[in-house]
């Protein structure tokens, strides 16, 4: 982050944005509202770096998470992994935890096709899309144990705070839980 520029975060709000930037973002908010799920949200500058996440953490008073779409070499199996935003991701440990062969990050084309989001905006809410029906939902145990988490709303400038229980209810599934032994990188 440029130290000469202040990172913008809106006040915490309720309700959907007035204008949706993508079809996935519309699906997310319509699904939340239809299910009667409480959430709060903020809008911000592009939130993709660790420093950006710290600003978003401060706005909500809750740590953000990072969401990663992973694939096998054949690009026919997918895992959506949610972990602490400041924990390193080590592919070898992830694969060993699930007893699967080596995985790699899905490219932007796959992200758009499956989750309907670009890099920097991956979100478990993308699992609401029909195209994501075969994706395995995976989460760090420590993240799953939290009462609330902060996720993107399908756009790298929009973030939602929601309870894990409500997230799992909305998605209609609980994640496969694994341990990420990496240490949280302190700011």
Assign 95 to helix, strand or coil.
helix
Half-sphere CA count of 19, side-chain side, radius 13 A:
1
CA distances from 68 to 94, 147, 179 (A): 11, 21, 15
Q: Give yes or no for residue 63 having a pLDDT over 90.
A: no
Q: How confident is the model at residue 186 (pLDDT cuts 50, 70, 90)?
A: confident
- pLDDT the model gives residue 2: 46
Looking at 70-115, list the stretches that DSSP marks H as alpha helix, in order from N- to C-terminal side.
91-98, 108-114
Task: Please state, in angstroms and rounded to a whole number, the distance separating the CA atoms of residues 29 and 39.
Answer: 10
Q: What percent of the chain has pLDDT over 90?
A: 76
Q: Give yes or no for residue 187 having a pLDDT over 90.
A: no
Average pLDDT over all residues of the chain: 92
- pLDDT the model gives residue 104: 94
Task: Please state, in angstroms and rounded to a whole number, the distance separating the CA atoms of residues 5 and 63.
Answer: 22
Question: Strand order of the sheet with strand 158-163?
Answer: 40-43, 158-163, 148-152
pLDDT in tens, 172-185: 999 999 998 788 78
Task: Please state, in angstroms and rounded to a whole number, the distance separating the CA atoms of residues 8 and 183.
Answer: 28
Q: Give yes or no for residue 5 having a pLDDT over 80.
A: no
Q: Give yes or no for residue 167 having a pLDDT over 70.
A: yes
| Residues near 29 by beta carbon (within 8 Å), at least 6 away in sequence | 16, 17, 20, 153
Task: Please state, in angstroms and rounded to a whole number, the distance separating the CA atoms of residues 2 and 153.
Answer: 24
pLDDT in tens, 101-160: 889 999 999 999 999 999 889 999 999 999 999 999 999 999 999 999 999 999 999 999
Total-model pTM: 0.92
b/e 68-81 (16+ beta carbons within 10 angstroms → b):
bbbbeeeeeebbbb
């Amino acid at each position: 982050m440029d130290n000469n520029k202040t990172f913008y975060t809106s006040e915490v709000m309720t309700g959907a944005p007035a204008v949706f930037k993508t079809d996935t973002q519309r699906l997310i908010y319509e699904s939340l509202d239809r299910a009667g799920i409480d959430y709060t949200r903020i809008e911000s500058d592009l939130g993709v770096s660790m420093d950006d996440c710290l600003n978003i953490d401060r706005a909500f008073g809750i740590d953000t998470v990072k969401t990663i779409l992973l694939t096998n070499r054949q690009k026919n199996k997918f895992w959506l992994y949610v972990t602490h935003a400041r924990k390193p991701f080590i592919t070898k440990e992830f694969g060993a935890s699930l007893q699967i062969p080596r995985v790699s990050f899905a490219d932007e084309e796959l992200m758009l096709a499956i989750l309907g989001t670009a890099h920097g905006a991956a979100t478990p809410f993308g699992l609401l899309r029909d195209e994501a029906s075969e994706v395995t939902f995976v989460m760090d145990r420590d993240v799953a144990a939290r009462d609330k988490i902060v996720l993107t709303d399908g756009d790298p400038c929009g973030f939602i705070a929601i309870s894990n229980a409500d997230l799992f209810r909305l998605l209609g599934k609980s994640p496969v839980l694994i341990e990420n032994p990496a240490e949280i990188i302190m700011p």
